[in-house]
Amino acid sequence: MGAAQKAGLLPISKTLFHRVIYLSNCLAPLFDTTPTNATIVKYKRGPFYPKVQWYLDRLAVLGILKVRDLEYITDEYGTWMEALYFTNGATRQVIETCKGVQYGRQIEEYLTEMVFAVASISKRTWKDAALNDSTYDEPGKTEGAFIDFADPTNNLSVQTARAFQAVLPKGFIASPKEEMFLYLRFLESQVAGGTR
Amino acid sequence: MPLDSDTLRNIALSNLNRVPPGRGDDIGSYIHAILVWLTEWAVASKHRTNITPGYCAFVLVPEQAKHDPPKGAKEAHFFKEDKTPILGGNVYITDYALNKVYRYSGKCRDLNEIARELTKRAINDRPFVAFDVEAQMVYIYASGMATRPTSVPLRQEIPYPFDVDVFKAMLDDIYRDNLKYAEPYPGLWHDSRERIPCKETELIAQSHVCAILKARAQGSGLSTGKWLTISEKKNNAGRIDIAIYRSEHCIVAAEIKVLRFRHHNADVKKAKKVSPKFNEKWAKRGARQAQRYKESEPSDSGVLVLYDMRDKNKDVQGAIDECKKRGITYLRYYLHNGIPGAN
């Protein structure tokens, strides 16, 4: 949330928040970081973590996050709650406390890079980028499929990000950050190309 | 699904120059983002006739991003993507990544009017980048208005084909506009009066030069994004400080060395002097490195770039001879330790 504010992603919609979390889980191995959750069920509304939503709402009720434009919508997929989340003074205090420990700093470092990679692509493609993710959108994976990318051979997103290495000038070693930024540009082009 | 390598190559070559040099929420990355945006804007503007003249400013106020527009400002939706022609005269409040942008419409015609506008809005202490729309000159105020700006020209056409002479001309520009005198940004001096360089001087000089070269490459008519500036490129002979590619062919492999009067030390009294012999040895080592890079890459040309922070503006004959012997281009830029006219 701290990085999202600096990158202009706030207030962030519930949908986008879950999708950014999904991408951060998927691409964590690029930074030798352990994803908080390496499995997900392919859901009709795109990547969604019920547990994260529970925490998100709890933080909002505790006043650590702010929430606005709460609405219940009913569409072809059923009923759904949508809202916009943003930070306040309490959020900043929590973030600062988390950064007081090594693990918190590492996670913050990674999430900052991740959020800025998302922020670097066109705003018009933010929402759909995760839907075009190589792992999530793998042919044959239909709604309700259990996606497990804990095993590197199943993590097509990281494989695609690393594939950029092969097309760069010989000898140039792309950093994990460069791979991640290029991968997000790849997702942006997929969205713009109308693959979904 | 097999990956289409042409697609990946296209994406990589078109976007690698855009990747910010540091953490996304670093001031250097913000300046890089603005420079890239402005070069792309400049390219898009070539075919437009409805450009509003004047000066504009991009002010970094990331905490504003989560709020509604400040009084008197309007949100500029899709600012990053749309490259508006109505740029001159306005002041923009932005986050680090140009996603949340608020516009104060104004009629700023010069830097003084920008300064007045920022003072009126009480944001004159924020890092900002001013831009002269007609002359296409960028002024970077990395620490707000209290410091002298660093200027970067955007408009000069980059000759084609790109060769070592073009590279030299670009370094000349960067030197003249940003490095010649002691500037707060990129801040190569720890104590300019005592001629003490900052920590990791070579790295800072390298990242500054690279940031400008990358920004100019991005979206420049010459490259259509295919001209790559790579720093710290690894090859069999080591790491090349700056490598310039076009269509995957290395045109220039450059080694940067800094000649010092004193070593860095936070305590001025403890900063030891650097002997002329050491500086010459250091420069000659740079020439050998440049030759190795040139041969192992292979590159069309190898360049030794010396940023000279010594007390006397004098060529290093040993390095000139070494470069001549090895077929390396010798470039030396003398960094004055004061404001214009002080040296």
CB contact under 8 A, A8 and B250: no
Tell me the pLDDT of chain A (196 aa) as tens digits.
Answer: 888 888 999 899 999 999 999 999 999 999 988 888 899 999 999 999 999 999 999 999 999 999 999 999 999 889 999 999 999 889 989 999 998 999 888 888 999 999 999 999 999 999 999 999 999 999 888 888 999 999 889 999 999 999 999 988 776 788 899 999 999 999 999 998 765 5
* Position B155 confidence tier, pLDDT thresholds 50, 70, 90: low
Amino acid at A153: T
Residue B1 confidence (pLDDT) above 70? no
CB contact under 8 A, B19 and A113: no
Q: Using a CB-CB distance cutoff of 8 angstroms, which residues of chain B are in contact with residue A168?
A: 12, 16
CB contact under 8 A, B233 and A168: no
Residue B100: half-sphere exposure toward Cβ, Cα within 13 Å: 22
**CA–CA–CA angle B301, B307, B313 (5° rounding):** 115
CB contact under 8 A, B23 and A115: no
A126: contact with B, CB 8 A cutoff: no
CB contact under 8 A, B66 and A177: no
A195: contact with B, CB 8 A cutoff: no
Tokens representing residue B284 in the block: 């000659």
pLDDT for position A47 = 95
Q: State the nearest Cα–Cα gap between B336 and chain A, in angstroms.
A: 35
A7: contact with B, CB 8 A cutoff: yes
Mean pLDDT, chain A, as a whole number? 91
**pLDDT, tens digit, 9 for 90 and up, residues B2-11:** 678 889 988 9
CB contact under 8 A, B12 and A164: yes
Residue B222 confidence (pLDDT) above 50? no
B30: nearest CA partner in chain A: A7
Window 43-102 of A: residues touching B by CB (8 A cutoff) are 86-87
Q: Using a CB-CB distance cutoff of 8 angstroms, which residues of chain A are in contact with residue B96?
A: 6-8, 116, 119
Q: State the nearest Cα–Cα gap between A78 and chain B, in angstroms.
A: 30
Q: Taking the mean position of all CA atoms in its chain, how far away is CA B236? A: 27
ipTM value = 0.90
Contact assessment for residue B61 and residue B24, using Cβ atoms and an 8 Å cutoff: no
> Which helix (H) or strand (E) element contains residue B251?
strand B249-260
Q: State the nearest Cα–Cα gap between B307 and chain A, in angstroms.
A: 25
Between these two residues, B147 and B316, which has the higher pLDDT value? Answer: B316
B100: nearest CA partner in chain A: A8
* Position B341 confidence tier, pLDDT thresholds 50, 70, 90: very low
pLDDT for position A21 = 95
Window 75-114 of B: residues touching A by CB (8 A cutoff) are 78, 80-81, 94-101
A162: contact with B, CB 8 A cutoff: no
Between these two residues, B16 and B276, which has the higher pLDDT value? Answer: B276
CB contact under 8 A, A5 and B95: yes
Q: What is the arithmetic mean of pLDDT over B188-205?
A: 89
**Residue in this structure with the two tokens 């076009």, named with its chain if needed:** B246
CB contact under 8 A, A171 and B15: no
A159: nearest CA partner in chain B: B3
Which segment of A105-109, B36-40, B61-65 scores lowest on mean pLDDT? B61-65
CB contact under 8 A, A119 and B97: yes
Across A83-115, b (16+ Cβ under 10 Å) vs e yields bbbbbeeebeebbeeeeeeeeeeebeebbbbbb
Mean pLDDT, chain B, as a whole number? 87
Task: Tell me the CA distances in angstroms from A76 to A4, A50, B53, B328, one per residue in order.
Answer: 30, 20, 50, 68
Domain count, chain A: 1
Q: Taking the mean position of all CA atoms in its chain, how far away is CA B229? A: 12
B79: nearest CA partner in chain A: A123
CA distance linking residue B287 with residue B321, whole number of Å: 10
Contact assessment for residue B262 and residue B215, using Cβ atoms and an 8 Å cutoff: no
pLDDT for position B149 = 84
Mapped onto helix, strand or coil, the DSSP state of residue A117 is: helix
**pLDDT, tens digit, 9 for 90 and up, residues B132-152:** 998 888 999 988 988 778 888
B310: contact with A, CB 8 A cutoff: no
pTM of this structure: 0.82
A154: contact with B, CB 8 A cutoff: no
A113: contact with B, CB 8 A cutoff: yes
Amino acid at A36: T
Task: Tell me the CA distances in angstroms from B168 to B158, B175, B331, one per residue in order.
Answer: 12, 10, 8
pLDDT for position B70 = 86
Q: State the nearest Cα–Cα gap between A106 and chain B, in angstroms.
A: 13
Q: What is the arithmetic mean of pLDDT over B174-197?
A: 85
Q: What is the arithmetic mean of pLDDT over B47-53?
A: 85
pLDDT for position B67 = 74
Question: Among candidates B293, B329, B287, which has minimal Cα distance to B163?
Answer: B329
Contact assessment for residue B154 and residue B137, using Cβ atoms and an 8 Å cutoff: yes
pLDDT for position B333 = 95
Window 213-242 of B: residues touching A by CB (8 A cutoff) are 228, 230, 233-236
pLDDT for position B223 = 43
CA distance linking residue B174 with residue B162, whole number of Å: 17
Range of the domain at A9: 2-192
pLDDT for position A194 = 66
